[in-house]
Amino acid sequence: MLFVPDLEQAPVQSLGAELRRHRRFAPRGTNVNFVQVREPNFILVRTFERGVEGETLACGTGVTAAALVAAQLYQWPSPVKVQVRNGDVLEVRFQQRDGQWDGVRLNGPADFIFEGRISLD
């Protein structure tokens, strides 16, 4: 996860691809999230996703992680709003008890985008 001053100028494809394959994350690699603080309790996130090998419109685990890291860094209370690449604004709710995260919830729209069938003859 990288915090950047201007998300639109972030090198999501090039740097995302490089970090995704960094030896520290070998052998499977990792998703790379670029995060910009818009205002207190509100961040913007762009994600380079492994497997896709490019930017995706949203990543639930990445959004949740980014919100929790921002809350920890900036001492923000719950909830944290997160705007993803497609423009949706998601909300991450949480409680922090004794230095541990509890009751973490991601709320936002979900769209059904594909249905398929496969025959295993």
CATH number where 19 lies: 3.10.310.10
Beta bridge partners of 81: 42, 91
Domain count across the chain: 1
Could you tell me if residue 38 is inside a domain? yes
- In the block, tokens 């936002």 appear at 108
Could you tell me if residue 113 is inside a domain? no
Rounded Cα distance, 104 and 95, in Å: 7
Mean pLDDT of 90-111: 92
The separation between the first and the last C-alpha atoms of the chain, rounded to the nearest angstrom, is 43
Could you tell me if residue 6 is inside a domain? yes
Mean pLDDT of 70-78: 96
By residue range, what is the domain housing residue 11? 2-107
Phi, psi of 12 (to 5 degrees): -60, -50
Could you tell me if residue 61 is inside a domain? yes
Average pLDDT over the chain, rounded to an integer: 93
pLDDT tens digit sequence for 6-57: 999 999 999 999 999 999 988 899 999 999 999 999 999 999 999 999 999 9
Query: Please, where are the H alpha helices in 1-121?
Result: 12-20, 60-74
Could you tell me if residue 90 is inside a domain? yes
Could you tell me if residue 119 is inside a domain? no
Could you tell me if residue 114 is inside a domain? no
Residue 44, helix vs strand vs coil: strand
Which tokens go with 77?
Answer: 């209370």
Mean pLDDT of 60-87: 96
pTM above 0.75, yes or no: yes
Could you tell me if residue 101 is inside a domain? yes
Alpha carbon 60 to its chain's center: 6
